[in-house]
């Protein structure tokens, strides 16, 4: 089992269509993915928080990728 939740500036953030934020009972190499869009402003600094929970799984790493 594994799941993830996201927030921006302490406000919940929904992942875009095609994301995979939870899994249960899958075997082999599995991953979670959240596709998101966050509006940017020149004067504001944004804080992205990601909370990942898992059990009966081996955590290996994470990757944050920017796609333009």
Q: Across the 68 residues of the chain, what is the mean pLDDT of every consecutive 10-residue run? A: 91 93 88 83 80 85 80
Q: Is 63 inside a domain boundary?
A: no
Q: What is the pLDDT of residue 60?
A: 83
Tally of structural domains, the chain? 1
**Position 29 in a domain:** yes
* Assigned domain for 59 exists: no
DSSP codes of every residue in 9-55 = TTEEEPPPTT-B-EE-S--SS---B--------SS----EEEEEEES
Would residue 9 count as lying in a domain? yes
Note the pLDDT of residue 7.
92
- Residue found by looking up tokens 């082999």 in the block: 28
C-alpha angle 8-13-19 in degrees, rounded to nearest 5: 125
Look up the pTM and report it: 0.74
Does residue 64 form part of some domain?
no
Range of 46's domain? 2-54
Tokens of 64: 């944050």
- The pLDDT value recorded for residue 14 is 92
């Amino acid at each position: 089992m594994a799941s993830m939740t996201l927030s921006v500036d302490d406000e919940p953030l929904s992942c875009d269509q095609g994301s995979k934020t939870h899994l249960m009972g899958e075997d082999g190499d599995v991953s979670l993915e959240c596709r998101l869009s966050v509006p940017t402003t020149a004067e504001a600094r944004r804080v992205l928080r990601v909370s990942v929970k898992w059990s009966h799984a081996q955590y290996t790493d994470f990757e944050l990728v920017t796609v333009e």
